[in-house]
A and B are shown apart, each in its own frame.
Chain A
Amino acid sequence: MNTLIIKSSKTTVGFSYAAKLALSIFLVSAMAGSAFAADKKIPKLSNGKPDFSGIWQTTSAADYDLEPHSNRKDAPPGLGIVDGGLLPYLPKALEQKKKNFDARLTADPALKGYTLGVPRGIYYPEPFQIFQRNQDLTLVHQFGHSVRTIYTNGTEHPDDPNDWWLGDSRAHWEGDTLVVDVKHFNDKTWLDRAGNFHSDALHVIEKWTYLDANTIEYKATIEDPNVFSKPWDISVVLHRHREKNFQLIEDYRFTLDYDQYYPPKQTTK
């Protein structure tokens, strides 16, 4: 059919330039459609799955407070990233959250340089790098240089593992979306610097999808029956760092309280 159209365009005298252009666009898109499907040219691994390799960061104010909030001395204003706006706390947990909020300038575990956890490490305002192979993704967070492995090799959660700062992550693909099931967390991390928190019953289901080659839509469903009355959803956009020579710079900030004692200094001549 394409051939037919080309033939007619060649033989039609006075065929307008605009029409030719429209035809050629149609042809190019038709050809692209047959060869690459509708993948918007996102990076792919050798196994055909999306390749999220790169250094990523959100521009949202999510880490200041997941919920909608006005400006305050320790935070810019923000719309929040929770579907429906507010977190569905159980009454007792809401009391704890308020205590956390009041103590946030000293009690936030991130201030000690502790690993941020999941999902906080994703929307914390420092870059993280994804290294990806067919069998797994390795996330290295600049903050704390903490390392999380997301398995895409068909393995399941272990039966009775330790509790982890970053949980245990097992993933599968739904089309071009990476779906990650994360559980077996400890209860030592917060969800943001406003004191939103979770217990060790935290369960996170993440969905990672390319919007285009340099932008990821990160969605997560969070449930924790010890803290929340029902599951809730968040969504942030992650942008690829494209600055020249950009790289992670290790940020082991939990060492800052004692690192002045090393190395020995030359005090006498």
Chain B
Amino acid sequence: MKNKVIQYYLGLLITSIALAPQIAQAADAAQANTEKKAPAQEKPAANNGGSGISREKSFPKLLSGKWTGAKLADGQPDVSGHWSNTIANHSNFTDPQGGIPNDPNPNRLAKGPREERAPSRVSDPVDGQLPFQPWALEKVKEFQVKFHDPTEPQFIEPLARCAPGGVPKSLYWHGYEIRQYPNYVVFLFDSGTRIIHLDDKPHLPNAIKLWNGDSRGHWEGNTLVVDVTNQNGKALFGRSGEFISENAHIEERYIFSNDNTRYNYEAVFTDPEVYTRPFTVTIPAKRWTAADKPNGWHFETTLAKHAGKEPLLDREERICTENNGGFGMGAATPSN
């Protein structure tokens, strides 16, 4: 009898120690809608013993425009398959390769100047910082201190309790799969599922609040445009504790390269309850295929057993309930 709980613990452990510089995935995008080619990181990798989280330091800008790639029968650009972010996990939102803020183990914090690491996921404002209202910034700073010894439950990062990653965190957690159907784009994440409705249904009533929000989308050429409401605001952006309120409005643009190897997520978050102005989040992603070697973080697949020669990918189920109340629960929590 085997189960996946060990893999989840291991994954969490690896993601927290795998912060030393590693080989970057070269940004080998040469597609027509690439504005500039990203330089490959040339620093030698430190052996961190982990599965290795891809750590590009920069990535190409992708422009919205025509889709010239393959289409599905219903006319959608065919972007189905396996994807992951290319720079870092959820340890730090605004300094993605910087390590968890206030990490008591200095070896896990990034050394060297800020410019040597990937940019903030906040692309507007240009300083890369989230425009928090003062009260919200205080809450985030408190979280960043107490995260390392969470004596109260609100200082546990909820993903560690198997909560869905939510928006936007799911996009820089483990790799994920996109499946497409007439009227739907479905994201299968390691922790949670997002069903994006492409028909004209109205959003859910405001009283309904969800970890992944309620998503309505449509295609504009190479760009999937998604309107997200009905957030519950509970997922947090990562181990650095940023958050949105349940009344946040998110306007997402998933801009795909025409060679179908990358996309950039650019989303405007509007949330006057927590922030002083709207801000833009940018997250790069790359595709993984059966030609890539599976790994324990970005591309968790296995080759299916079958009589033919063609490599077919199996996606193993992701169900984290075993870990519910697990990682981070060494802390004294009144509710448990």
Contact = CB atoms under 8 A, between A and B. Distances in A.
A158 B305 CA distance: 6
B73 A262 contact: no
24 contacts: A138-B179, A140-B195, A144-B321, A147-B188, A155-B304, A156-B304, A158-B305, A161-B302, A165-B321, A252-B164, A252-B192, A254-B162, A258-B161, A261-B153, A261-B154, A261-B335, A262-B158, A262-B233, A263-B243, A263-B244, A264-B136, A264-B143, A267-B135, A268-B135
B181 A53 contact: yes
A221 interface: no
Given A131-B186, A151-B314, A164-B319, 13 more contacts: A144-B321, A146-B319, A153-B312, A156-B304, A158-B305, A164-B316, A249-B204, A250-B192, A254-B321, A259-B232, A261-B153, A264-B136, A264-B140
A161 B316 contact: yes
Nearest to B186: A131
A264 B139 contact: yes
A78 interface: no
Instruction: Give the dominant DSSP class at B's interface.
Output: loop
Interface stretch (B60-68, B206-214, B284-292): B206-214
B163 interface: yes
B137 to A, nearest CB: 10
A252 B211 contact: yes
A147 B308 contact: no
Contacts of A163: 1-3
A166 interface: yes
A124 to B, nearest CB: 15
A255 B306 contact: no
Contacts of B239: none
B115 to A, nearest CB: 31
Q: Classify the secondary structure of A's interface with B.
A: loop
A261 B335 CA distance: 10
A145 interface: yes
Interface stretch (A27-35, A56-64, A107-115): A107-115
A153 B193 CA distance: 23
A31 to B, nearest CB: 27
A263 B234 contact: yes
A245 B181 contact: no
Contacts of B232: 259, 262
Interface string B214-237: 000000000000000000111110
Nearest to B192: A145
Interface of A: 46, 53, 112-115, 129, 131-133, 138, 140, 144-149, 151, 153-159, 161-166, 186-187, 200, 245, 247-250, 252, 254-255, 257-259, 261-264, 266-269
B243 to A, nearest CB: 4
A259 B321 contact: no
B184 interface: yes
B4 interface: yes
B186 A155 contact: no
Interface of B: 1-4, 73, 135-136, 139-140, 143, 152-154, 156, 158, 161-164, 179, 181-182, 184, 186, 188, 192-193, 195, 197, 201-202, 204, 208, 210-212, 232-236, 243-246, 273, 302, 304-308, 312, 314-319, 321, 324, 335-336
Contacts of B212: 250
Contact of A245 (B140, B201, B273, B336): B201
Contacts of A248: 195
Contacts of B143: 264
B75 to A, nearest CB: 14
Contacts of A146: 317, 319
B3 A166 contact: no
Nearest to A268: B135
B210 A147 contact: no
A263 B233 contact: yes
Contacts of B3: 162-163, 186
A166 B236 contact: no
Given A145-B192, A258-B335, A264-B243, A155 B312 contact: yes
Contacts of B201: 245, 247
A155 B306 contact: yes
A261 B143 CA distance: 12
A46 B235 CA distance: 39
Determine which residue in B1, B204, B273 has the highest number of CB atoms from chain A within 10 A of its CB, and name it: B1
A54 B316 CA distance: 23
Given A138-B186, A255-B211, A257-B335, A157 B197 contact: no
Contacts of A186: 1, 3
Contacts of B236: 262-263
B188 to A, nearest CB: 6
B304 A151 contact: yes
Contact of A46 (B73, B315, B318): B73
A258 B233 CA distance: 13
Specify which of A112, A163, A247, A252 lies most central, judged by the most chain B CB atoms within 10 Å of its CB: A252
Nearest to B135: A266
Contacts of B233: 262-263
A28 to B, nearest CB: 29
Nearest to B155: A261
Most buried by A among B192, B195, B202: B195
A147 B195 contact: no
The 9 closest A-B pairs by CB, nearest first: A262-B234, A264-B139, A155-B304, A261-B154, A263-B233, A263-B243, A155-B306, A261-B153, A162-B2
